[in-house]
A and B are shown apart, each in its own frame.
Chain A
């Protein structure tokens, strides 16, 4: 085991100096309610009812893992590290990331529901420990839809960022990110280390096969705490209430075009 690790290290070192393989990729992932679940707000409006609800890896984070694993399979990355912040249960999602191909995992364990700024601060601390060349995150989590963590992390680290990526390509020691923006695609070139956040069309994640699920059980998963990283994650925001969207009212059949135009103008107010 040690012997093979030494060989691997030596090999990576050789490849590093040849400029072929050098990148360490960090992929932060979040445990969220599975996208197939129809969520229910708690009756006291304090949040979403999570009792007996199927949880999963956030779909955008899964795309991030897939992209990192592909980079490694193409020989462009040397190591893929998955990191999650949450309760002990988040280990399930880290195991999924390991089964998809990540090499090792880190859980920053906390009982606090950490907000995007807190997550970004914790990730900054992890980055300072692990020194990745590239950090790929999901553009947002499907539970709170904040879409802030990647950007905040870039600001805290003072790294360049390429958000909403639909394509990435390593080029001339940097990375080219094609971004999905309003009205088209924008391509930006970033120097490393850099932050990329994934959009839906970047790739289609693979299934974690049964053999890889078994292998994942043997991969290292370190557990640390927010205190270990010396980061204060107490919430800054106060949630007033969480309530379901109003039920869609049934439609009406209009008799004439004039009536339709009238309704669009005066009732829906979508035309003037």
Chain B
């Protein structure tokens, strides 16, 4: 067993770090305050390969593993959490198309999505179907040459600015088995976007309701088979959870670095505040928990890469743990900055606002506990954690 990064991983890490430092970090505060969605920067990220990290080469992707992807995403999120989080959602949606889509549809969409020239939104959640995702009401009615889609999707990242929707809709009976997955061009007739939601964080990517009224979709735009949608969604989410957990780790690392630097500069009572043991202990705990969370995320990514039978449980545990740790580390870093942490001149309050949602989306941390808890109640469960 070797816990060191490979030579390749170090090169990937350096590239992502440099990109984050030059192209993301200097602008993140401005994008946040102006709610500006930096599509041109995402396209630049796409030119370097960041928009198709774990998609096979034949679909224009980089063919990396989830662990490699996590190492890259972590560095990107040190520069801008919100932009990076969107890039990961795009990666996940593209992966669904690449893995389960038909050749014709893939030929049409994969090259431009892989290069970041076009962007994808992922549409599962509805106003009445959040944690209980299998209860979605959006319908896809079969016609002679395709489907007609009716319904409404909530909290859709990037919506109104993206080029296609990877959307879950009901083609059959109640429950998970009646759901199918579709690719719908974002400008299709009958699609109507709601107002931009006013959010606590992730402010630089638009979030809207997507209403679909009699939207016609050709039959080739069905991704996978009819009834396979929920399985695709859940499989995508294993990786999605690792990605979001990674965004918390990267942001927390940026917060930790800022706090450490500040403790070496700021003076009160005639000495550096870093000389107070109370703050040293705080920094020690933040560092310890962050390193633990990082390695948990990498472990889960490795399980997904190896198709480990418990990959879903590991992803859920890593997501719960890393997003909680990530939030706490950012929050404690803000505390170290005192009043300066609370004002927008410093990035700390933005870090806190941005990572807060990671405890909610891709399955709330309560849903993560449900997944883990159910698994742990099975007979052989204790073998899982050995």
Binding site for B on A (CB under 8 A): 92, 95-96, 99, 207-211, 213-214
- A92–B7 CA distance with the chains assembled, in angstroms: 9
The 18 sampled A-B contact pairs (Cβ below 8 Å) are A92-B7, A92-B11, A95-B11, A96-B11, A99-B11, A208-B15, A209-B15, A209-B49, A210-B12, A210-B15, A210-B48, A210-B49, A210-B50, A210-B53, A211-B62, A213-B8, A213-B15, A214-B62
Q: Which residues of chain B are near A208, meaning CB under 8 Å?
A: 11, 15
Given A207-B18, A207-B19: A213 in contact with B12 (beta carbons within 8 A):
yes
- 3 shortest A-B CB distances, which residue pairs? A210-B49, A209-B48, A210-B62
B174 interface residue per 8 A CB criterion: no
* Most A-side CB within 10 Å, residue of B15, B18, B62, B64: B15
Cβ of B15 to closest chain A Cβ, rounded Å: 6
- A96 to B47 alpha-carbon distance, docked (Å): 17
Q: Which residues of A contact B12 (CB under 8 A)?
A: 210, 213
Binding site for A on B (CB under 8 A): 7-8, 11-12, 15, 18-19, 47-50, 53, 62, 64
A207 near B15 with CB under 8 A, answer yes
Complex contacts, B62 vs chain A, CB 8 Å: 210-211, 214
Determine the residue in chain A with the shortest Cβ distance to B68.
Answer: A210
- Assembled-state Cα–Cα distance A217/B53 (Å): 18
Q: Which residues of A contact B64 (CB under 8 A)?
A: 210
CA gap between A209 and B114 in the complex, in Å? 13
* B residues in contact with A96, CB < 8 Å: 11
Q: Which of B7, B19, B48, B53 has the most CB of A within 10 A?
A: B48
Other A-B pairs, 20, CB within 8 Å; known A213-B12, A214-B62: A92-B7, A92-B11, A95-B11, A96-B11, A207-B15, A207-B18, A207-B19, A207-B48, A208-B11, A208-B15, A209-B15, A209-B47, A209-B48, A209-B49, A210-B12, A210-B48, A210-B50, A211-B62, A213-B11, A213-B15
B15 partner residues in chain A, CB cutoff 8 A: 207-210, 213
Bound-state CA distance A210–B55 (Å) is: 13
How far apart sit A95 and B11, CA to CA, in the bound complex (Å)? 10
A114 to chain B, nearest CB (A): 24
Residue among A208, A210, A211, A214 facing the most chain B CB atoms (10 A cut-off): A210
* Chain B residue contacts of A99, Cβ below 8 A: 11
How far apart are the CA atoms of A96 and B10 in the complex, in Å?
A: 12
Q: In the complex, which residue of chain B has the Cβ closest to the Cβ of A96?
A: B11
CB distance from A216 to the nearest CB of B (A): 9
- For A216, the closest partner residue in chain B by CB is B11
Which A residues lie within 8 Å of B47 (CB)?
209
Q: Bound state CA distance, A213 and B63, in angstroms? A: 13
A96 to B64, CA, bound (A): 19
Closest to B18 in A: A207
A213 to B72, alpha carbons, bound, how many Å?
14
Contacts of A211 in B (CB 8 A): 49, 62
Contact residues in A for B53 (Cβ distance below 8 Å):
210
Q: Which residues of A contact B49 (CB under 8 A)?
A: 209-211
Please give the distance in Å from A229's CB to the nearest CB on chain B. Answer: 27
A217 to B14, CA, bound (A): 16
Determine the distance from Cα of A233 to Cα of B234 in the docked complex, in whole angstroms. 62
Which B residues lie within 8 Å of A214 (CB)? 62
A54 nearest in chain B by CB position: B14
Distance of A208 Cα from B19 Cα, bound (Å): 10
Q: Which residues of B contact A213 (CB under 8 A)?
A: 8, 11-12, 15
The distance from the CB of A137 to the nearest CB of chain B, in whole angstroms, is 23
Contacts of A209 in B (CB 8 A): 15, 47-49
Closest to B50 in A: A210
Query: A51: shortest Cβ distance to chain B, in Å?
Result: 16
A92, A96, A211 pick with most chain B CB within 10 angstroms: A211
Please indicate which of the listed interface residues A95, A207, A208 has the most CB atoms of chain B within 10 Å of its own CB.
A207
- In the complex, what distance in Å separates the CA atom of A223 from the CA atom of B64? 29
- Complex Cα distance, B53 from A209, in Å, reads 12
Closest to B47 in A: A209
Separation in Å of the B372 CB from the closest CB of chain A? 33
Q: What is the bound-complex CA distance between A116 and B199, given in angstroms? A: 58
Bound-complex Cα distance A214 to B56 (A): 13
Closest A-chain residue to B52, C-beta based?
A210
- Tell me the nearest residue of chain B to A214, going by C-beta: B62
Q: How far apart are A101's CB and chain B's nearest CB, in angstroms? A: 14
How far apart sit A34 and B11, CA to CA, in the bound complex (Å)? 14
Q: How far is the CA of A40 from the CA of B48 in the complex (A)?
A: 34
Closest to A34 in B: B14
A213 to B62, CA, bound (A): 11
- B218 to chain A minimum Cβ distance, whole angstroms, is 31
What separation, in Å, do the CA atoms of A24 and B6 have in the docked complex?
34
**Could you tell me the distance in whole angstroms from the C-beta of A255 to the nearest C-beta in chain B?**
25
Contacts of B19 in A (CB 8 A): 207
Most chain A Cβ neighbours within 10 Å, of B11, B50, B64: B11
Q: When chains A and B are docked, how far (Å) is the Cα of A207 from the Cα of B23?
A: 11
Report chain A residues within 8 Å CB of B50: 210
A149 CB, min distance to chain B CBs, angstroms: 26
Residue ID in chain A nearest B7 by CB atoms? A92
- Interface-central residue, B12, B19, B62, B64, by most chain A CB under 10 Å: B62
A81 and B79 CA atoms in complex are apart in Å by 34
Question: A92–B11 Cα gap in the complex (Å)?
Answer: 9
CB distance from A102 to the nearest CB of B (A): 15
A5 to chain B, nearest CB (A): 23
How far, in whole Å, are A207 and B18 apart by their CA atoms in the complex?
9
Q: A214 CA to B11 CA in the complex, in Å?
A: 10
B163 to chain A, nearest CB (A): 22
| Residues of chain A with a CB closer than 8 A to B48's CB | 207, 209-210
